[in-house]
Structure 1
Amino acid sequence: MAQLAIVNATVIDATGAQPIDGGTILIGADGTIEAVGPAAAVSIPEGVQTVDARGGFAIPGLMDANVHLVAARTADTLLDFQGRYDELAREAAELTLKYGVTTVFDTWGPAAAATRVRDEINAGKTTGSRIYCSGNIIGLGGPLSDDFVAPGTFLQKDTIASVNHEWERGTGPGLTTMSVSQIAEAVAQYIEETGVDFIKWAATDHLAIASGAAVFLMFSEAAQQAIHDTAHGYGLPTQAHTTSVDSLRISVDLGVDLLQHGDMTVGQPAPAELLDRIAGKRIPTAALVCTDDYLKWSASFPGTAISHGARENSDINQRGLIERGARLLLTTDGFAYGPRITEHPGFRAGTLKPTVPDQCVQLGYSHFNWLKGAWEKGMEPMEVLRSATAYPAEAYGVSEVVGTLEVGKKGDVLILDADPLTSAAAYKEIRHVIKEGAVVDRDKLARDMQVGLDVMAEPG
């Protein structure tokens, strides 16, 4: 039995097919699409709720291939919300859904909180973007570690350890001292205990981008192969956090399912031969695409100047991948940052404020800037759309469920008032967000956030 019919829409299904003028999308009571096509080809049962999209454009709900739903990033917020990180994950999932991102992939965070909120949303107990999550980045420490924000000497060691444990769960820096078999065992135990949806490991350390220092490999090729094989043994997709030419080469050789930061090569751009292989093997690359205005700003602002060289390399690599027809994925690497974080004097002072031109790491806002940046770098309009819909779904192995407007897939639909194939700005012109056949009441989402900020709702 159908529950919703979207009529009179220009339907762009993200399969690469031509748009359907005056199209109809029929969504069943189970939230999946029952029919898509011209009005004359789709019969609408009596009594079905109808959304008239006349003059509008219907596309699949957007996807962000790299988010972090828990925005506690400083010692005070980590301690304040310890034991209730679910609250932050929940409000971040509301914020992303409000602005058209119906599915997110959380690639670093406390697994217990993320999976609980994931399950609540899937059960219809709360409203938010659909969540797939990895929990920790295998091999890295928690938020109060040298890999992220070193706590100094003002916190007691047990306090630091208790916070970090919620992220690490036995997969922290200690893995780098283990044998290959021990690493595989630790990853298997982590998967079984947490119920995460995919595995992400640190091919390189997490310090070089911010400091401009040397990049170090975290695991041997044999160890990375063991992590990859262990995850696949549980049927989970894999991705590597890679920030150097050699770590990128290793990941390509392994055949990871997804390259996270595969465009980021500290020290030098990736060789043409390596870009050719990425494109040729069709390995999806989650790339932090920035606009030209952001890159100009980052070159001049003292807080980002040290990492600007890596940004320039990314820009070169992104353009090279686009020219080769490689698959890039919409990626903000974003958090739901708010004043408690953006105005914190000890945390990336001045670099995260909403006033930064085309801010690229703010949930609820920065995905629009990614789309603008991809457009600027020469990506074809249909590829821009597919990079934000079909390609992330394929990369994460969920393309049978989401990613395109096809029969049998979830009825996640974004209705825009402007044509996304003529302008990147069209993605901001949201008339309706529909998730699993239900029209989302956007005005009720992401209100009174505890740590985050709804940038688009702020005056000015």
Structure 2
Amino acid sequence: MAILIENATVIDGVADTARENCSILIEGERIVQVGDVDCEKLPAGLERIDARGRFIIPGLMNANVHLFMAVNLESLSRYWDRYEDIILEASQVALKHGLTTVFDTWGPRRFLIAARDRIASGETVGARFFCAGNIVGLDGLFSPDFFSRAQEVASAVMTRRINAIWAEDMGRHLMWKTPGQVSAAIDAYLGRGIDFIKYASNEHYPGAFLAFSPDQQRAIVDAAHARGKTAQAHSMSVEGLRIAVEAGCDLIQHCNKTGPVPIPGDTLDLMARRNTGAVVFPQTDAGLAWLLENLPEEQQESWRVSHRNACNLVSAGVKLLLANDGAIMPPEWPTDPQWGKSWVTAPEAFNLAKLTTGHFVWFEAMAEKGCPPMAMLHAATRNIAEAYGMADDLGTIAAGKYADLLILEKNPLLDAKNYRTILSVMKSGKIIDREALPEHRLMSRDIEAPCEEEGRHIPFLGSGGRFPFSCC
């Protein structure tokens, strides 16, 4: 099947400016020609799309998502046999909202690989995705690294199984190993089908402690590169960030999150010189104001510093990558007392963490921080493809690359909010029926209506320890 898109303004991610009255010829999954197309040499059976007055950009990419975030005990139990379906649902939601390629940086490896391969084979529709499995050096889902409170109510059988599904043999015990032993473990893990390595330079929370020594980190990166795979680090402090850059990481996740200490100038310079991919989690001014008003005081300085870091990364000319920990949370999630008010439960207008709209918030936040419009587009397309070693196939609109395109109603270079004006999504040369996605709603469903018995139920104690039935 051949498609000719005509009369468009194309922002291809290659040229420094948009190309007006431009055509794109697509055959099968890939782009054949961009620019002036010889109409006398067009293939038979061609489908023409008139994109006059429209703007075409490469399909958006996200450098850090979590396609399985049904990590509350309720969902893990309720959907025990549907983990793969949840991942497919999230990939379809991502595609619906303009993300044609995403990178899952933490999740249940076996189920992610199965869903990834179903999409890659064409068996089902979804955003193209690549996965890392566990964050090397962190333990399982029900461990102190993540949600240890679940151990208080889950059986020992379930706790052991869930932790094993997430961490396998890539947990905290590796911190005790020699660099050579860590390297061997990484090589074995890559042999299980993951696409790249993500390891912990810092612990997860509060994040100041180093997880692996500099020598261990270099061994991890070298082992990944020896297999032709990229390596990235989870960093949470200025020292964790610096050591990961010096270890040779291809990209660093949420590198603007460095606790109460801003990134030193020499580390910014080092990242720029080495062309290290800087994954940034920015907040809009409105989002930052909400966080400072609603979060505990000990978290507020961290968010102020993350805002300052994002601005400094822009000014230093570091290679920026769009990401947001994008996920679909279970609909019951906001009512879980463990979460309350946090950056992942913020109002949707400036909630960075949503898989549906968080990438649009990212553009708006970075525009406020002075990031040039074309640099923002590159951060969401070309830079991600380069950092993950996939620039031959993805990231720009050019001959030979996958035909991953968005048709927008308005010019995104004029206003970051125009990224929201998606008219059509094309992935691998096929127009996506966005209205049909997701095909099955599990995490994206509405919360169930109250059951019959809830209308008659009288709790013994209400909020605040009061008797709800008391007339006094």
Q: Note whether the superposition's TM-score is higher than 0.5.
A: yes
1:381 aligns with 2:373: yes
Q: 2:118 aligns with which of 117, 120, 125?
A: 120
CA RMSD of aligned residues (A): 1.9
Q: 1:371 aligns with which of 360, 363, 368?
A: 363
Q: 1:432 aligns with which of 424, 435, 445?
A: 424
What SS does structure 2 have at the residue aligned with 1:190? Answer: helix
Q: Tell me which amino acid in the other structure corresponds to 2:142.
A: L
Tell me, yes or no, if the aligned pair for 1:10 and 1:23 is still in contact at 8 Å: yes
Flag structure 1 segments of 5+ consecutive residues without an equivalent. 210-214, 455-460
Q: Tell me the residue number matched to 2:438.
A: 446
Tell me, yes or no, if the aligned pair for 2:294 and 2:341 is still in contact at 8 Å: no
Matched ranges for 1:53-452 at <5 A: 53-150=51-148, 151-193=150-192, 195-208=193-206, 215-302=208-295, 305-349=297-341, 351-353=343-345, 355-446=347-438, 449-452=441-444
Q: Distance in 1 between matches of 2:196 and 2:69?
A: 21
Q: Tell me which amino acid in the other structure corresponds to 2:288.
A: L
Moved over 6 A (4+): none
Shift of 1:190: 1.4
Change (3 A) 1:3 1:333: same
Q: Distance in 2 between matches of 1:42 and 1:265?
A: 58
Instruction: Provide the aligned length of Structure 1 versus Structure 2.
Output: 446
Q: Distance in 2 between matches of 1:275 and 1:81?
A: 44
Tell me, yes or no, if the aligned pair for 1:412 and 1:434 is still in contact at 8 Å: yes
What SS does structure 1 have at the residue aligned with 2:220? Answer: helix
Q: Tell me which amino acid in the other structure corresponds to 1:13.
A: D
Q: TM-score, normalised by structure 1?
A: 0.93
Tell me, yes or no, if the aligned pair for 2:218 and 2:248 is still in contact at 8 Å: no
Q: Distance in 2 between matches of 1:234 and 1:352?
A: 35
Flag structure 2 segments of 5+ consecutive residues without an equivalent. 447-472
Change (3 A) 1:139 1:274: same
Change (3 A) 1:74 1:41: same
Tell me, yes or no, if the aligned pair for 2:57 and 2:407 is still in contact at 8 Å: yes
Shift of 1:348: 4.3
Tell me, yes or no, if the aligned pair for 2:58 and 2:381 is still in contact at 8 Å: yes
Shift of 1:279: 1.5
Deviations 1:420-454 (A, max 9, x none): 11011111101100011100000000255212369
Q: Distance in 2 between matches of 1:247 and 1:346?
A: 27
Q: Distance in 2 between matches of 1:221 and 1:453?
A: 45
Moved more, 382-391 or 144-153: 144-153
Q: Distance in 1 between matches of 2:324 and 2:167?
A: 23
Q: Distance in 2 between matches of 1:313 and 1:350?
A: 17
Deviations 1:65-111 (A, max 9, x none): 00000021211212223343111110000000001100000000011
Q: Distance in 1 between matches of 2:348 and 2:57?
A: 29
Q: Distance in 2 between matches of 1:71 and 1:18?
A: 38
Change (3 A) 1:429 1:250: same
Change (3 A) 1:149 1:349: farther
Q: Distance in 1 between matches of 2:360 and 2:54?
A: 18
- Percent identity, aligned pairs only, is 36
Q: Distance in 2 between matches of 1:47 and 1:270?
A: 56
Q: Tell me the residue number matched to 2:449.
A: none
Q: TM-score, normalised by structure 2?
A: 0.91
Q: Distance in 2 between matches of 1:255 and 1:350?
A: 33
Shift of 1:264: 1.4
Q: Distance in 2 between matches of 1:374 and 1:43?
A: 43
What SS does structure 2 have at the residue aligned with 1:115? Answer: helix
Shift of 1:148: 0.8
Q: Distance in 2 between matches of 1:105 and 1:390?
A: 14
**Bigger radius of gyration among the two:** 2
Tell me, yes or no, if the aligned pair for 1:36 and 1:42 is still in contact at 8 Å: no
Q: Distance in 1 between matches of 2:297 and 2:382?
A: 35
Q: Tell me the residue number matched to 1:10.
A: 9
Shift of 1:39: 5.2
Tell me, yes or no, if the aligned pair for 2:291 and 2:342 is still in contact at 8 Å: no
Tell me, yes or no, if the aligned pair for 2:16 and 2:374 is still in contact at 8 Å: no
Q: Distance in 2 between matches of 1:14 and 1:289?
A: 22
Q: Distance in 1 between matches of 2:3 and 2:140?
A: 44
Q: Distance in 1 between matches of 2:341 and 2:305?
A: 24
Shift of 1:361: 0.5
1:27 aligns with 2:58: no
